[in-house]
Amino acid sequence: MIAVSNSAYLGFYLYLVMVLVQWAVATYSKAKQPNAIPGKMDENLSHDSFIFRAHRTYHNTLENSTLFVSTVLFAFVLNFQSPIFAICVWVYVASRIIHMVLYYAIATEKNPSPRSYFFLMGVIANVIMLVLIGLRLMHY
């Protein structure tokens, strides 16, 4: 059985797999369209288009990846072993997976949309992880 604090590694791995899946879905859904031009999105697409939603899901994840990946890697470099940190990693990953599924499934221009709540859960989990690292650094 994997220790709770070490499960952060598994959660981080799952996050990387999720990013790969999002990239593949966004790329494949766009590329299979007639006359698709690499690197160019049709400006007329919106939330009613799965291609738009897949593209936005992937790019939203990329926009949020810098902080999450940096936070987790910093903790790993510090050999920070905390069950609370590991739980936050899993909350972040789960919230991003749910965000992805909702973005794929629900075509809405509404704000906040159901996916917004899971976006916020991920942000809160990331802030908690940063606070935990900061507290650890203050004790060095």
The one-digit pLDDT tens for each residue of the chain (140 residues) are: 456 667 999 999 999 999 999 999 999 998 888 877 777 777 888 888 899 999 999 999 999 999 999 999 999 999 998 999 999 999 999 999 999 999 999 888 888 888 999 999 999 999 999 999 999 999 87
In a domain, 63, yes or no: yes
Q: Which two tokens stand for residue 106?
A: 């629900």
Q: Which segments of the chain does DSSP mark as H helices, in order?
A: 7-31, 50-77, 83-105, 114-138
Q: Which two tokens stand for residue 72?
A: 């987790």
Domain range for residue 69?
7-29+47-138
User: CA torsion 57→62→68→74, rounded to 10°?
Assistant: 160
Question: Using alpha carbons only, what angle is made at residue 54 by residues 107 and 46, rounded to the nearest 5 degrees?
Answer: 45
Number of domains in the chain: 1
Task: List, for residues 83-97, the tens digit of each pLDDT value.
Answer: 999 999 999 999 999
Single pTM value for the model: 0.90
In a domain, 54, yes or no: yes
| CATH number assigned to the domain comprising residue 130 | 1.20.120.550
Task: Tell me what pLDDT residue 1 has.
Answer: 46
In a domain, 40, yes or no: no
CB distance 73 to 9 below 8 Å? no
Residue reference for tokens 């990953």 = 93
In a domain, 66, yes or no: yes
In a domain, 35, yes or no: no
